[in-house]
Amino acid sequence: MLHRLVCDLTHAELTALRRRPPAHALPWPENTHLAEDLGADSLELMALATRLSEMLHIHEAGIEDYLLARLRIDDWTSVALTSLRRYNTALTFRTSGSSGQTKPCTHDASWLWQESLALGELFPGRRRLLFAVPSHHIYGFLFTVLLPQVLDLPADRLIDLRRSSAAALPGQLRAGDLVVAHPDYWRTALTLVPAFPEDIVGVTSGAPCPDDIAAGLRAAGLSRLVQVFGSSETAGLGWRDDETAPYRCFPYWQGPDRDGSMLRHMMDGTTASFTVQDELVWKDSRHFLPQGRRDEVVQVGGRNVSPAHVAQVLRRHPRVQDASVRLMRPDEGLRLKAFVVPRQDVENTHALAEALAGWVRDHLTAAERPSTFTFGPQLPRQHNGKPADWIIEG
What contacts 24+ positions apart, CB below 8 Å, involve 327-330?
Answer: 327/100, 327/298, 327/300, 328/371, 328/372, 328/392, 329/389
In a domain, residue 212? The reply is yes
Q: What is the mean pLDDT of residues 102-120?
A: 95
**Measured in Å, how far apart are the chain's first and last C-alpha atoms?**
42
Residues 33 and 120 in one domain: no
Are 82 and 8 members of one domain?
A: yes
Averaged pLDDT for residues 121-133: 97
| CA–CA dist 163, 76 (Å, integer) | 23
Answer yes or no: is pLDDT of 384 > 80. Answer: no
Q: Are 241 and 226 in contact (CB under 8 A)?
A: yes
pLDDT at 100: 47
Number of domains in the chain: 3
The 10s digit of each residue's pLDDT in 11-36 is 999 988 987 889 999 999 999 999 99
Residue 297 has pLDDT above 80, yes or no: no
Q: How confident is the model at residue 99 (pLDDT cuts 50, 70, 90)?
A: very low
Instruction: Say if residue 291's pLDDT is above 90.
Output: no
83: containing domain: 2-88
Are 294 and 279 in contact by the 8 Å Cβ rule? The answer is: yes
Consecutive H or E run containing 75: helix 73-86
For residues 133 and 13, membership in a common domain is answered with no
Same domain, 13 and 143: no
Residue 309 has pLDDT above 50, yes or no: yes
Q: What is the pLDDT of residues 154-210, one digit of tens each?
A: 999 999 999 888 889 989 999 999 999 998 899 999 999 889 999 999 999 988 899
pLDDT digits over 236-289, tens only?
999 999 999 999 999 999 988 777 789 999 999 999 999 887 889 999 999 999
Compute the average pLDDT of residues 52-62: 97
Same domain, 136 and 48: no
Within this chain, do residues 264 and 303 fall inside the same structural domain, yes or no? no
> What is the tally of helices (H) and strands (E) in the chain?
13, 19
In this structure, the answer to whether residues 185 and 266 fall within a common structural domain is: yes
- Same domain? 288 vs 318: no
Both 285 and 302 in a single domain? no
301-330: average pLDDT: 89
* Residue where a domain terminates, one of 55, 88, 121: 88
In this structure, are 223 and 123 located in the same domain?
yes
Same domain, 117 and 191: yes
Q: How far apart are CA 237 and CA 284, in angstroms?
A: 14
Q: Specify the CATH number for the domain of residue 285.
A: 3.40.50.12780
Are 111 and 258 part of one and the same domain? Answer: yes
pLDDT band at 4 (very low <50, low <70, confident <90, very high): very high
Contact 141, 166 (CB under 8 A): no
User: In angstroms, rounded to a whole number, what is the distance separating the alpha carbons of residues 185 and 177?
Assistant: 16
Whether the CB-CB separation of 367 and 300 falls below 8 Å is answered with yes
Point out the domain boundary residue: 26, 59, 88.
88
- Does residue 53 belong to any structural domain of this protein? yes
